[in-house]
Structure 1
Amino acid sequence: MDRAVEDVEYEQMLLSRHGLLNHRKGRRENGVLERSAYILLSRIRVQGPMSIGELSEAFDLDASTLNRQTTAAMRAGLVQRIPDPAGGMARKFRITAEGSRILDEEREGTVASLGRVLVDWPGEDVAAFAHYLRRFNTDLERLGGRPWPRP
């Protein structure tokens, strides 16, 4: 088992370097979202409006980091600050129509990229891979105490 865990570590490291999303500040010239914006928008979409405190807890990041990320996302028109729909004191961030459109485009591009990688895989292998990735992620989330809501 130890060698297998070492193999998982190595392959995970390689996977992270391939990044289907290239990173830069804000959106790149060709419209690709920065990784942090992609994840932020994805979380807000699946969970609904979130405050800085809720985002900080969800991502295990300090408020100053999330203030920078949400400010950049607001400047780009991806999110907007709204009063708490539940009547609380904190303002929350909601994904905008433009943010949803761009997130959908980004996700479609990522799915297309994955499709090119997995084109020769049998459907049952793709399904098994998805199952194991979900299991891996949910175990990480369980250990970290930060489950990610899934649609």
Structure 2
Amino acid sequence: MGGPVRPTRDVEYEQMLLSRHTEMHRRGGRRHDSSLERSAYVLLSRLRVQGPMSISELSEAFGLDASTLNRQTAAVVRAGLAERIPDPGGGMARKFRLTEEGERQLDIERRWIVDGLDVVMTAWSDEDIAAFAGYLRRFNTDIERITGRPWPRPTPDGKPPRA
């Protein structure tokens, strides 16, 4: 591993700290009506943006095996956050979609996270926040390009894209 030290070493370290701070924030100080686990939050977020998905579609999207997704989807169904429905496109596989309660819990969780970011970034200008979001988006979309697993993005108003 010779050669000059690239700034990616700094990115690695800051990314490690960011994941630590994020996880500590999620575990501590939970003073709101939602209690979504991280896996449920990510799963419900994907269903909101993409719409109903089958286990095989979720497996492809997340790069996880079907047994892991069966456990995760069973948990959100038991909690009333998602439901199994016939494929709207007429396919054989049943799909999962958000329930009204799932939408509500996801909105509560997202608002709590955004409120926390507002506290952290209180001294940042809107331009700085937008630039940071742009760099994060670029970073994530480059990872998605390399892995072949693009993640759909909501519209600028935070709503799911309409087909």
Give the TM bin, normalised by the shorter chain.
over 0.9
2: CA distance, partners of 1:5 / 1:94: 38
One-letter identity of the residue aligned with 1:38: Y
Q: Which runs of 5+ in 1 are unaligned?
A: none
Q: Is the 8 A contact 1:22 1:34 kept in 2?
A: no
Q: Following TM superposition, by how much is the alpha carbon of 1:122 offset from its aligned partner in structure 2, in angstroms?
A: 1.6
1: CA distance, partners of 2:59 / 2:26: 23
One-letter identity of the residue aligned with 2:72: Q
Match of 1:102 in 2: 105
- List per-residue Cα deviations over 1:21-53 (Å, max 9, x = no partner): 239xxxx99632100000000000000000000
1:76 and 2:79 aligned: yes
Residues 63 and 11 from structure 1, CA distance in 2 versus in 1: closer, same or farther, beyond 3 angstroms? same
Matches within 5 A, 1:1-150: 2-19=5-22, 20-22=25-27, 31-150=34-153
Percent identity over paired residues: 69
Moved over 4 A (4+): none
Q: Following TM superposition, by how much is the alpha carbon of 1:3 offset from its aligned partner in structure 2, in angstroms?
A: 3.2
1: CA distance, partners of 2:60 / 2:45: 16
Q: Which runs of 5+ in 2 are unaligned?
A: 155-163
Return the structure number with greater relative CO, CA threshold 8 A, min gap 6.
2
Larger mean Cα displacement after TM superposition, 28-37 or 59-68 = 28-37
Aligned residues: 148
TM-score, L = length of structure 1: 0.93
2: CA distance, partners of 1:123 / 1:17: 25
TM-score, L = length of structure 2: 0.86
